[in-house]
Amino acid sequence: MSDRDQQNPVERYPRPEFPQQDQPHPGDTDRMEPRPDHGEETYRGSGRLQDRCTVITGGDSGIGRAVALAFAREGADVLFSYLAEEEKEARETARIVEEAGRRAVAMSCDIRDEAECRRLIDRAAGEFGRIDVLVNNAAYQMAQPDSIEGITTEQFDRVMRTNLYGMFWLSKMALPHIPEGGSIINTTSVQAYKPGPHLLDYATTKGAIVTFTQGLAQYLAERGIRVNAVAPGPVWTPLIPATLPDTSRFGAKAPLGRPAQPAEMAPAYVFLASQDASFITAEILNATGGTPLP
């Protein structure tokens, strides 16, 4: 059966239980069992983003890598950010983009810093001349199962600055370089609507991303720039063994009975970035494996 044949989504990818696995942050794709699928063997493009110039934060692994792969196979050039400790992962994403025949620009950047965000946007504008699609995907989480008392001010600040400040700065700085017809796509989460107490600070930021997306979309509509977001449910990425205490049953509570693979998220970003979504803005595309959201 090929990937384009109709398949039972419950059985398409591995289901828990998984081996218990713990990794230091930010995690390593190659050490995960099962290994995440980014669409390396399955995603086939059809020119939906031909010659688009795109920027993806957190493009080294997980959802970001899958989106970079899909964008490149749809004909887009990709500049993506990564943390310095993720250089090995970033090299693999760059290889995948270049293998698709598109330009890959990998840039080490900590989006918690406003000056770093400015450097990222300036680099993208210099490399490409414009930014057709900005994907604000990078995020930080760290589970604290002992309630709010376990969240330090340092952790709270890191979550807020990575997930919210970076998105705000990059969106604001990118706007002079986004032409009519361009778009911004943010990554929110099922946690925005159904917050888990062990991810209280992370869930708070994801709720704010929903509000930011819907508000900014209205502001930019008259300029012909669309703003949308994707709300994934549980997704099997290196962030999971690096930030959650129990990986063995991860995703088991989703109605489909398993976590998503990054490859299953990428088509949502492609759709929102493409001309097919020209009348879609201020929307949250929920990809939760069956968990109902507002």
Q: Please say whether the beta carbons of 261 and 232 come within 8 A.
A: no
Sheet containing 226-232: which strands, arranged edge to edge? 104-108, 77-82, 53-56, 133-136, 183-187, 226-232, 284-287
Q: Which residues pair with 106 in a beta bridge?
A: 80
How many C-beta neighbours within 10 Å does residue 105 have?
Answer: 17
**201 alpha carbon, distance to own chain's centre:** 18
Q: What is the CA radius of gyration of the chain?
A: 18
How many C-beta neighbours within 10 Å does residue 6 have?
Answer: 6
Q: Please say whether the beta carbons of 3 and 13 come within 8 A.
A: no
Give the Å distances, CA to CA, from 191 to 187, 196, 209, 267, 268.
11, 7, 11, 21, 18
End-to-end CA distance of the chain: 35
Written in H, E and C, the secondary structure of 205-236 is HHHHHHHHHHHHHHHHHHHCCEEEEEEECCEC
Question: Which tokens go with 109?
Answer: 């950047």
- Is 269 known to be catalytic? no
Determine which one of 140, 202, 219, 269 is catalytic: 202
The values of phi and psi at residue 73, to 5°, are -70, -15
Q: Please say whether the beta carbons of 173 and 121 come within 8 A.
A: yes
The residue assigned the tokens 């699609």 is: 133
Residue positions annotated with a catalytic role:
202
